[in-house]
Amino acid sequence: MMSRLGDERAFKLLREHNTVVRDALTRFGVREVKHTCDGVMASFDVADQAVRATIQIRYGIPAIAVDETDERLSIRIGMTSGEPFEEHGDLFGSVVNLGSRLCDLTESGEILMSEDCRNELENESLQTKSIGDVSIRGFSSAVTVSRVAD
């Protein structure tokens, strides 16, 4: 997108994206770990709060329009739970890798989560639908994955 729009227009969109994401993370008590150029890694203590933040992000991002076009930004979110390894404020480990791989599997506007994360949800109003066991690169056994419903 940067090469197509040019740096100035692309960075304007990036700033708007970051505002939507950071407002949602702050509102629901989710910690931003780092910005990854075209994404954000965040960490949470309560799965329900993280899902609510991602839902707010999912609805806020498409409202950002590319000037003078009908094009809209889209997002993909992968969520998992577990204890990552932390060093110098950054997170590492298989739980981080799984979250990234889930993000890679998503379609535009979709939120996917691992079974471990889904099992931590306490609020029954947060609806998910299992999409079954998925083979994920770098993991020896299939991972049960669910989609967050609207």
What would the pLDDT profile of 17-64 be if each residue is shown by its tens digit?
A: 899 999 999 999 999 999 887 789 899 999 999 999 999 999 998 887
CATH number at residue 122: 3.30.70.1230
**Pairing between β-strand 111-114 and β-strand 77-79 as defined by DSSP bridges:** parallel
Q: Tell me the pLDDT tens digit for each residue of 82-96.
A: 988 889 988 888 899
Domain that holds residue 55: 2-148
- Number of structural domains (the chain) is 1
- Residue 111's pLDDT is 94
Mean pLDDT, all residues of the chain = 88
Angle at 33 between CA 66 and CA 75, to 5 degrees: 30
